[in-house]
Amino acid sequence: MQKTIAKTLPGFMELLPEEQVLFNQMRKTIQETYEKFGFLPIDTPIIESTEVLLAKAGGETEKQLYSFTKGDSNLTLRFDLTVPLAKYVALHSNEISFPFRRYQIGKVYRGERAQRGRFREFYQCDIDVIGDGELNIINDAEIPSIIYEIFRKLGLDNFCIKINNRKILNGLYESIDAKEVSESIMRTIDKIEKIGIEKVKEELRELSLSEENIEKIIKFITIKGTTDDKLKELQNLNIKNETYLEGMQELKKVIEYIRLFNVPEDYFSIDTSIARGLDYYTGTVYETFLNDYKSIGSICSGGRYNNLSEYYTDKKFPGVGMSIGLTRLFFILNDIGLIKSNKKSISEVLIVSMISDISSAIEIANKLRQANINTEIYFDDKKIKAKFKYADKLKIPYVIVIGENEIKTGKLTLKNMKTGEQKECDLEEIINKLHN
C-alpha cells in the first residue's frame, strides 16, 4: 500500500506526552487562578462568520487570517478571544450579569511567517471584566494582582508588570499640539527598549516635533526612581491638560489599589514608554516582562478599553482585561529552562504482576482507583525488566510488584522508582503513602 507521510504542519505545536503534562499543568494553574478571582468560563466557537470577526476590519491581522467558504458562508477562524467576547456580550447582554467577569482559554489562529518560536495555532488565556455602561477603576488594579499570582505559581520570581495609562500619553500629546501624530509617537517610543534613546529622538524629529517638545517627550518616557518618585515627577511635569490629569488620577488610584491587593513593590512599576497597541486601549495598560529575558517581549499584556462591542451594538460596555499567550510562553520557558524539570507522570503507581494470573493486580488497581489514586496495570506479558523500564520512562514514581510470595503473604512489594528502595506493605499503607 502507498503510504502517506505522517507530518504535522509547521507553526503548529505538538508535544510529546511528558511535555504535554507540563503544558497542561500551566494551563490548570492559570485556570484555577482565574476561578479563584471569581471569573466565569465561556467557550465560543473557533469558526465564526467572517463578517462578524471582521466587523472591525483592517490592520496587519487581516493578511494572517484563516478564511474560507463553506456552502454560501464566509467563515474565518478566530484570531483572538477579544472579538468573540465582543460578539458574545452584544449577543447575550440580556442574559448575563454585569459586571461580567469572564475567562476563556482556547486556541486562536494567525498565519504568521513560520519561524522558530512563532505559532500559527496557539492558546490564549484571557480574562476581562465588562461593565454595563461603567466599570470601577479598582478592576484595573485587581488584574495585575492576578498576573502576579499566576506567574508566582508558575514558578517565576523575576518579572515585572509595567503599568501605564493611555490618558497621560494622549494628554501629553494634546498639551504639545501633537495629537495628530500621537500614534506615530507612540509607535516610536514603544521601541525604546529595542532601539535606544538617540534613535527614538531621530524618529521623533522626522515627525516635525520641536526640540523642546522632543525633550519633553524624552523626559516623560525616561522618568526614573521608585513608583512614588515617578508619580511625583509626572505631577511635576506640570502638564495642564484635562486628559493628562484624569490619567494621573487613574494611575495613582491603580497604584494605590495594586498595593492593597498585596502585589510586592518589586513586581510592578510605572513605565511611561508603554503604549500597548494603537486604537483599542483607552486607559490603564499593562505589559509583563521577565527581567532576565527582556528581549522576549511582554509575556502578559492587557488594559482598559471604553467600548468593547461598539461594532455590534449601541450599548456601551467598558472593560479591562489581560491575555496570556500560553503556547508561546510554554515554548519560551521550556527553551530557557525555566519550567521545572521535575517532570511528573499522570500515573502515581504501576502494578506489575510476576504471575500470569492478573486478577490480583486488577483487584488492587480497583481499590487504589477507588481511593482516587491514578493507577495503571501493566498487562503485557513482558520480562520484569521491560515493565520496570516502562515505569521509568514514564517517570511513574512507584511500582507495586505482585508475585507468588505476595499472594501467599497478602503483603505487596512497593518499589520507589527514584530511590530504588523496596518495601513490603499492605494495601492500606500504600494508599496512605500515595495520598501524601
Interacting residues with its own copies between 366 and 395 (CB under 8 A): 366, 369, 372-377, 379-381, 390, 393-394
User: Is the distance from CB of 365 to CB of 374 less than 8 angstroms?
Assistant: no
Alpha helices per DSSP H over 261-401: 326-335, 359-370, 384-393
Give 287 or 376: the residue with its C-beta nearer to its own copies: 376
Give 143 or 214: the residue with its C-beta nearer to its own copies: 143
User: From the CB of 18, what's the least distance to its own copies, in Å?
Assistant: 8
Q: Does 295 bind its own copies (CB under 8 A)?
A: no
Q: Which amino acid is located at 426 in the chain?
A: D
Contacts of its own copies in 31-90 (CB under 8 A): 35-49, 51-52, 55, 66-71, 73, 75, 86-88, 90
Q: How far is CA 363 from CA 118, 352, 387, 407, in A?
A: 48, 12, 19, 12
The CA-based angle 402-408-409, given to 5 degrees, is 85
Give 42 or 185: the residue with its C-beta nearer to its own copies: 42
Give 95 or 198: the residue with its C-beta nearer to its own copies: 95
- In our burial notation (b when 16+ CB lie closer than 10 A, e otherwise), range 327-366 reads bbbbbbbeeeebbeeeeebebbbbbbbeeeebebbeebbe
- The size of the interface with its own copies (CB under 8 A), counted in residues, is 101
User: From the CB of 281, what's the least distance to its own copies, in Å?
Assistant: 19
- State which of residues 181, 237, 245, 358 lies at the interface with its own copies (CB under 8 A): 358
Q: Does 3 bind its own copies (CB under 8 A)?
A: yes
Is the CA virtual torsion 236, 241, 242, 243 positive or negative?
Answer: negative
User: Distance (Å, rounded) from C-alpha 167 to C-alpha 185?
Assistant: 14
Q: Which stretch binds its own copies (CB under 8 A): 7-15, 230-238, 273-281, 296-304?
A: 7-15
Give 41 or 225: the residue with its C-beta nearer to its own copies: 41
Contacts of its own copies in 237-276 (CB under 8 A): 257, 260-262
User: From the CB of 319, what's the least distance to its own copies, in Å?
Assistant: 13
Site string for its own copies, 323-352 (x = CB under 8 A): -----------------------xx--x--
- State which of residues 211, 363, 424, 428 lies at the interface with its own copies (CB under 8 A): 363
Give 148 or 220: the residue with its C-beta nearer to its own copies: 148
Q: What is the DSSP letter of 6?
A: P
- State which of residues 102, 167, 328, 387 lies at the interface with its own copies (CB under 8 A): 102
Q: Does 425 bind its own copies (CB under 8 A)?
A: no
Place of cell 487504589: 368
Q: Does 355 bind its own copies (CB under 8 A)?
A: no
User: Distance (Å, rounded) from C-alpha 13 to C-alpha 9?
Assistant: 9
Give 201 or 395: the residue with its C-beta nearer to its own copies: 395
* Contacts by 261-267, CB closer than 8 A, 24 or more apart: 261/141, 261/142, 261/144, 261/145, 262/145, 263/144, 263/145, 263/148, 263/161, 264/148, 265/226, 265/227, 266/160, 267/148, 267/159, 267/160, 267/161
Quick one: residue 420, left, alpha or beta (phi over 0 = left, psi -120 to 50 = alpha)?
left
- State which of residues 16, 180, 419, 421 lies at the interface with its own copies (CB under 8 A): 16
Give 45 or 196: the residue with its C-beta nearer to its own copies: 45
Q: Does 222 bind its own copies (CB under 8 A)?
A: no
Q: How far is CA 187 from CA 17, 181, 183, 198, 431, in A?
A: 41, 10, 6, 15, 59
Q: How far separated are the first and last CA of the chain, in Å rounded? A: 52
Contacts of its own copies in 196-215 (CB under 8 A): none
Contacts of its own copies in 118-177 (CB under 8 A): 120-121, 131, 134-136, 138-139, 142, 149
